[in-house]
Amino acid sequence: MNISFLDERLESIYLKVKEGSRLSKEDGICIYDTQDLLGIGHIANYVRYNLHGNKAFYVNNQHLNYTNICKNRCRFCAYAKDDGEKGSYVWSMEEIEKRLMDKIEEPVAELHIVGGLNENLSFEYFIDLLKTVKRVRPEASIKAFTCVEIDYLSNLSGLSLEETVHQLKEAGLEMMPGGGAEVLNTRIHDALFPKKIGHDRWLEIVRTVHKAGIKTNATMLYGHIETLEERVDHLIALRDLQDETNGFTAFIPLAFHSQNTQLSHLPSTTAMDDLKNVAAARLMLDNFPHIKAYWVMIGESLAQVALNFGADDLDGTIIEERITHTAGAKSAKGLTQDLMEEMIRSAGFEPVQRDSFYNPIQSK
């Protein structure tokens, strides 16, 4: 099929994609730089359709954010609190069990568990957390902890990184969500989250986790102080690690929400940029099986459009999202299975309910 591009630079990118050639850093920068949004959308959709046809995935999942007390206090975070600050909290095992039981009639296939670095919690708390969740929801997969939390837990326990991961896996950890990378760049790290682990440590932890047989997602937080080149470098770093480990399941572009953060002067991301990030991910990450359009951060309507720009997954029902809504997200805090399927069908795609590992689940 011959396509006429408004930006002639996209001709060579389209040719590379059709030939199965890997895109370069310069190609990635072009994808972000071009104003030919429909052109890059066409190329990304070509890749998406070859991989997944007309299918679009979602999962019935529940988020559990066990504490918002965090010692790091990153500049871009609206969720974290200091111990004793108004609105700070930590959930006991009883509270966690109650929250699970409150939704026990929901067909939850995945528990998404992340929280702050709370210095009042022992390593045993996290082992108990995993065991409690697995006892109450034995049929659901536990997707828990960012690399930042894994690093913290290794230091807290006094165990090696490998032994920490082993003990968490024994307690029920099956997958990791992929957050905490933000943008894999020293300049951005030092400016926005200096207390958090750097990009080399993040990659080291992912490598260790993959070696232990635990799949992860990967993310990129965009729309703050990063340059287009830094975005592309981030994607290439993930692509290189995937070549090595083949442990990434999906990539999720995360649109930055600045409200109630130290960066509240920054504007919201635009629809143009949101769609470019989805398309760039699908085209640059040629070894990633799935790209998510995270409806919580870009809104339900734009997530539908993103299914035509390279995304094949809308994440999940979530039940109650807390972190992004603290930073001003206007999307729903959760969606029903019926609404998820209607979103996908009305966008022209076939909904496929999945588990954490993209195995289809028959709707009951």
* Three-state DSSP class for residue 55: strand
pLDDT tens readout for residues 181-204: 899 999 999 999 888 999 999 999
**2-6, 10-14, 219-223, 293-297: segment of lowest average pLDDT:** 2-6
Task: Specify the pairing of strand 248-255 against strand 55-59.
Answer: unpaired
**Lookup: tokens for 64:** 């559990």
Q: Which of 295, 210, 288 is nearest to 250 (CA)?
A: 288
Whether residue 323 has pLDDT greater than 50: no
In the predicted structure, residue 59 carries a pLDDT above the cut 70 = yes
| pLDDT on residue 257 | 80
Q: Which residues pair with 215 in a beta bridge?
A: 175
Domain boundaries, the chain: 9-354
Give percent above pLDDT 70 in the chain.
94
Q: Indicate if the pLDDT at residue 179 is higher than 90.
A: no
Start-end of H helices in the chain = 9-19, 25-33, 37-52, 93-102, 123-136, 147-157, 161-171, 186-192, 199-211, 228-245, 271-284, 295-298, 300-306, 323-326, 337-346
Q: Check residues 196 and 245 and name the one with the higher pLDDT.
A: 245
Rounded Cα distance between 345 and 315, Å, is 15
Name the band, by pLDDT with cuts 50, 70 and 90, for residue 210: very high
pLDDT (average), residues 23-51: 98
Query: From the CB of residue 357, how many other CB atoms can be counted at a distance below 10 Å?
Result: 12
Check pLDDT > 80 for residue 259. Answer: no
CATH dotted code for 9-354: 3.20.20.70
Phi first, then psi, for residue 217 (nearest 5°) are -95, 175
Q: Is the pLDDT of residue 334 over 70?
A: no
pLDDT at residue 358, as a whole number: 97
Q: For all residues of the chain together, what is the average pLDDT? A: 92
Segment 334-351 mean pLDDT: 92
Asked which of 223-237, 266-280, 295-309, 322-336 is least confident by mean pLDDT, the reply is 322-336
Q: Compute the distance between CA of residue 339 and CA of residue 235 in angstroms, rounded to an integer.
A: 31
Who has greater pLDDT, 319 or 185?
185
* 306 close to 293: Cβ distance less than 8 angstroms: yes
Question: Which residues, in sequence order, are CB contacts of 305 under 8 Å at separation 6+?
Answer: 271, 275, 347
Residue 142 φ then ψ, to 5°: -100, 115
**Mean pLDDT in residue range 343-352:** 97
CB contact at 8 A, 108 and 137: yes
pLDDT value at residue 180: 87
Helices (H) and strands (E) in the chain, counts: 15, 10
Query: Which carries the bigger pLDDT value, residue 188 or residue 3?
Result: 188
Beta carbons within 8 Å of 138's beta carbon, 6+ residues apart: none
Q: How confident is the model at residue 249 (pLDDT cuts 50, 70, 90)?
A: very high
- Taking 80 as the threshold, does the pLDDT of residue 130 lie above it? yes
- Global model pTM greater than 0.75: yes
